[in-house]
Amino acid sequence: MGAIRGLRSFGNNLGLAWWAKVETTTPNVTYWFGPFLTRRSLRLNLTSFEKDLSFEGSDSIKHTLVRERRREPLTI
């Protein structure tokens, strides 16, 4: 495991990791994107994730940034 990946995992276990809760209406799905060490790094990477969802045909993409510990499932 790489150093950054280990730090992300550790931060997530402590509930300090940043996640984006991304919701779409078509399909009606909730995605969890993360973990990230900083809110800034999450924001920098979130744009490309949302673009990918759009290219796959998702509509009405909304996101909320949260700082918490997440486990599976990451797609609902």
Per-residue pLDDT, averaged over 27-50, amounts to 95
What confidence tier does 47 reach under pLDDT thresholds 50, 70, 90?
very high
In this structure, how many other beta carbons lie within 10 angstroms of the beta carbon of residue 36?
22
**Residue 22 belongs to a domain:** yes
**Residue 36 belongs to a domain:** yes
Identify the domain containing residue 30 by its residue range: 3-67
Per-residue pLDDT, averaged over 29-39, amounts to 94
**Residue 74 belongs to a domain:** no
What confidence tier does 54 reach under pLDDT thresholds 50, 70, 90?
very high
Give the CA angle between residues 41, 6, 52 to the nearest 5°.
40
**Residue 19 belongs to a domain:** yes
Contact 70, 19 (CB under 8 A): yes
Per-residue pLDDT, averaged over 46-51, amounts to 96
3-27 residue pLDDT tens: 888 888 888 888 889 999 999 998 9
**Residue 16 belongs to a domain:** yes
**Residue 39 belongs to a domain:** yes
How many domains does the chain divide into?
1
- How far apart (Å, rounded) are the C-alpha atoms in residues 24 and 18? 20
